[in-house]
């Protein structure tokens, strides 16, 4: 089973609209040779999207947002709908990031609503899951991952999985410089694929890409991406420097 590697940047609340075109262009230039082998994505703050889409036109870099709401429109101050995201020229969206869960009250249930809305809109959705250090230390890793999968993917069908990517981001590895070892990551990725198989069938589970996220850098990407169930990366800090992001994409192209 060959799954095309997908490397996505999550810019978080960094990069101003006026800085966006330069970063997208630098990424496109530095990664042009890998665009056929690796799916390359930059998920930007919503306000950066017009500049990002414009700068990415004609390149192999896809653009996405960092969240979406599940309603098509209405009185939801501060939210953006999947229809708006598509209309702005994006093909990707992140749901369920741990920072949304930690700081903005996101639950497995709202992650499910957002994920289903994104799939219904034709976006490729990168649904994030991952345990905290307390949960891991308490021996609850499997319980947490299985719950986040079961609730997050409720009513997501095998056919929907064509638009689904799962991002495994151990919360303790995000922005901390502390990466899961390749073996630790592979163990959880295998659990995620096995859980997915129970939900949508083994054949479909084999087609779904599972990204690792959490302090991924050019220096550790190759050994992570060499693991059988690690199909890409969701990159925070290192996605803000074109050379670092390109280094990770080069590792994915050679994996």
For residues 68 to 97, the per-residue mask of contacts with ligand 13P, x marking binding by CB under 6 A and - elsewhere, is -----------------------------x
When computed from its CA atoms, the radius of gyration of the chain, rounded to whole angstroms, is 17
- The secondary structure element, H or E, covering residue 65 is strand 61-65
Q: Looking only at residues 97 through 126 of this chain, which bind ligand 13P when binding is defined by CB under 6 A?
A: 97
Rounded Cα distance, 47 and 67, in Å: 12
Place of tokens 């966006």: 20
Q: What is the Cα–Cα distance from 245 to 222, expressed in whole angstroms? A: 13
Q: Which stretch binds ligand 13P (CB under 6 A): 13-21, 23-31, 197-205, 235-243?
A: 235-243
Partners of residue 213 on adjacent β-strands = 234
Interface map 147-186 toward ligand 13P (x if CB under 6 A):
----------------------x----xx-----------
Q: Which residue in 234, 248, 249, 255 binds ligand 13P (CB under 6 A)?
A: 234
If the CB atoms of residues 48 and 200 are measured against ligand 13P, the closer one turns out to be: 48
Interface size with ligand 13P, residues (CB under 6 A): 14
Interatomic CA distance for residues 65 and 81, integer angstroms: 11
Token duo for residue 196: 């997915």
Among 136, 215, 224, 251, binds ligand 13P (CB under 6 A): 215
Joined tokens for residue 60: 């192999």
What is the C-alpha separation between 184 and 143, in angstroms, rounded?
Answer: 16
- Give min distance, CB of 187 to ligand 13P, in A: 19
DSSP string over 115-164? HHHHHHTT-EEEEEE---HHHHHTT-HHHHHHHHHHHHTTT--TGGGGGE
Q: Which is nearer to ligand 13P, 158 or 240 (CB)?
A: 240
Q: Which residues are catalytic?
A: 97, 169
Q: How far apart are CA 49 and CA 65, in angstroms?
A: 7
C-beta closer to ligand 13P: residue 97 or 189: 97
When asked if residue 219 is in the footprint of ligand 13P (CB under 6 A), the reply is no
Nearer to ligand 13P, 238 or 255 (CB): 238
The residue with tokens 């939900």 is 199
- Pick from 221, 237, 248, 253 the residue near ligand 13P by CB under 6 A: 237
With tokens 């809109």, the residue in question is: 121
> Minimal distance in Å, beta carbon 81 to ligand 13P?
22
> Which one, 213 or 247, has the nearer CB to ligand 13P?
213
Footprint on this chain of ligand 13P (rule: CB under 6 A):
10, 97, 169, 174-175, 213-216, 234-238
């Amino acid at each position: 089973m060959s799954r095309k590697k997908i490397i996505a940047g999550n810019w978080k609340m960094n990069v101003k609209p006026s800085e966006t075109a330069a970063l997208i262009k630098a990424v496109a230039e530095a990664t042009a040779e890998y665009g056929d082998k690796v799916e390359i994505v930059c998920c930007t703050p919503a306000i950066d999207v017009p500049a990002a889409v414009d700068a990415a036109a004609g390149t192999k870099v896809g653009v996405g947002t960092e969240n979406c709401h599940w309603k098509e429109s209405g009185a939801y101050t501060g939210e953006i709908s999947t229809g708006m995201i598509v209309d702005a020229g994006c093909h990707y969206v992140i749901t369920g990031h741990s920072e949304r869960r930690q700081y903005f009250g996101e639950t497995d249930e709202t992650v499910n609503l957002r994920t289903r809305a994104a799939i219904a809109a034709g976006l490729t959705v990168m649904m994030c899951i991952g345990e905290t250090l307390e949960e891991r230390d308490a021996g609850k890793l499997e319980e947490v991952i299985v719950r986040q999968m079961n609730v997050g993917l409720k009513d997501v069908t095998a056919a929907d999985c064509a638009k689904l990517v799962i991002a495994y981001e151990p919360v303790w590895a995000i922005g901390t410089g502390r990466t899961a070892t390749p073996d630790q990551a592979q163990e959880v990725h295998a659990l995620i694929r096995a859980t997915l198989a129970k939900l949508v069938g083994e054949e479909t589970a084999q087609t779904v890409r599972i990204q690792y996220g959490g302090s991924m850098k050019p220096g550790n990407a190759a050994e992570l991406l060499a693991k059988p169930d690690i199909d890409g990366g969701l990159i925070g800090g290192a996605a803000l420097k074109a050379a670092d992001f390109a280094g990770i994409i080069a590792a994915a192209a050679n994996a």
